[in-house]
Amino acid sequence: MESQSIHLSYLIKQEDELTQEETKLLDEARRATYRSYAPYSHFSVGAAVELEDGTIVSGSNQENAAYPSGLCAERTAVFYANSRYPDLAIRRICIAARDTEGDLLQRYISPCGACRQVLLEAEQRAQHPIEVLLYGTQGICCIHSIKDLLPLCFDDSFL
């Protein structure tokens, strides 16, 4: 028997430590939370992706009474970016959320498993890491790559 471990390195930055590009992306992710359709959970999520040419595309969670029919903010943004700009790779994604009271979360949130898998595919298509910024008012978690969020991932190499 052999014991192994997985290690994740990430940075926690404050807003004043972000680059101009990161701040622009964060602002758009926060704005996207206001376009959320969340009449059931009242939990509004916004995501913004920056493409390799600097274009920013955003999305928000869209709920439905038939719960599986809704879609997370991250997938909304990624799918829109791919359908609108199919030849431009994603450089980074930022995710922000508001609680049931409408306040931005103090602690950052992370993408669900389905979103992680979709983002992994986008990263593989881009052939370079997609940086992840997870926003919370107390700090922004900065992760180098989607693969860091999805260790031991299932990808096209298994097909």
Q: Which parts of 14-109 fold into alpha helices (H)?
A: 20-32, 73-84
User: Is 74 part of the annotated catalytic residue set?
Assistant: yes
Q: Which parts of 69-145 fold into alpha helices (H)?
A: 73-84, 113-126
Number of H helices, E strands in the chain: 4, 6
Q: From the candidates 22, 28, 50, 74, give the one annotated as an active-site residue.
A: 74
Is residue 111 within 8 Å of residue 95, measured between CB atoms?
Answer: yes
Here the tokens at position 72 are: 């997370």
Residue positions annotated with a catalytic role: 74
